[in-house]
Structure 1
Amino acid sequence: MKLTLLIMVSLFSASASAAIYKCTDTNGNTKYRSSPCESGRDNGRINIKTGDSTTDNKNNQQDLAQKEQQMALEKQKLEQEQVLKKQANINKDALNESAINQFLIKNNPDKFSVYAIPPYAPEKLPDLVKTYQTRLADIERLRRQAAQKALASGQCIRVESVELHSKSTKEALMFAINCSSGKSFYFNEQELPK
């Protein structure tokens, strides 16, 4: 009796630690086996003790591919948010520089026409300015400095307009200043104070 009980317990524990494999063939038929499925077939392993199951590499690869795709989308979204945040900061700095320009014009009407340095609205930029959109705050600051340099020359009595010039490059922005005396000036950013 003890021997029979001992044999049953050992058989039960041996079978309890074994796994059952769920195999699906090419026709979609499912079979349960005590040994692993043939390679190239869908394998699923069922743990008898816990009831958990694991799938073969094909399903794991699909899950991994989905996770990678989701991570790529999240990364792209994060990058877009960073670009938008950076552009918002650029626009904010540009608006601050424009406010300084308008303050200067308002307090010096004898030196600047009302439209000497019209602010560039970030959402309605002229095509030329849009090319250098990431430097919008610099453009506004340099326009003011170009106007002041023209006035300091003594040949410009009143500034009528200051605009970004079409000969600008990414390395050197250029500005055209028109004065009421009919004199025009052209300064690139290297000629203006930092």
Structure 2
Amino acid sequence: MRLIILVLTTLSLVACSEPVDYTFGFSAEETDRFYLLTAEYDDYMNVPAGIIGCCLASGSKSASMFPEKYPKKGYFVWHDEATESYYRATLKYPENLKEIADGLPDFVNFTDGEKYPKEVYLLTSITSENEAISWISNGMIGNKYNDRTLIELDKAKGEPFVPEFIKERRRKKALQAREKSDSESTK
């Protein structure tokens, strides 16, 4: 009896500590307009992105990671080349995100008609209006998928701001201009 309890306890601990298997995907409404500087989940996990391209909810830029759990929030910072401005937004994810992911259906490959296991994607896109939107999906966008499921998780308007490195650069330029002006006035 003790052996059975030990085995069941061990199995439950191993099953609970297995990493979650999903892929982060990033995209934008307009190709090459946005540079995603920060994609941070739950204040500890940074995911690389860079310049993100077309189209909404496509996940055209992706990074596979095996975190311990699904995130509760995402913090995003991006630069909009069209407006030459920086924006930031925080998205909140449902507490039951794992259950939502587990409930996603398998997908059918369009080319061969075969059914394949779902590939869970946590997608984030930036719109032309500088909104950040997140979805969960059973696959990336593409013509090979049929029966793709896409569930919107959250949306937030980007808040324009000036990053610290820009403020520091401006302070240095102002100081240099002041020093130059002072040195010219003493001549």
Which of these two proteins has the greater Rg computed from alpha carbons?
1
Q: Which has the higher contact order (CA 8 A, sep 6+)?
A: 2
Structure number with higher strand proportion: 2
Fold match (TM-score > 0.5): no
> Which band: TM-score by shorter chain?
under 0.3
TM-score where L is the length of structure 1: 0.26
TM-score where L is the length of structure 2: 0.27
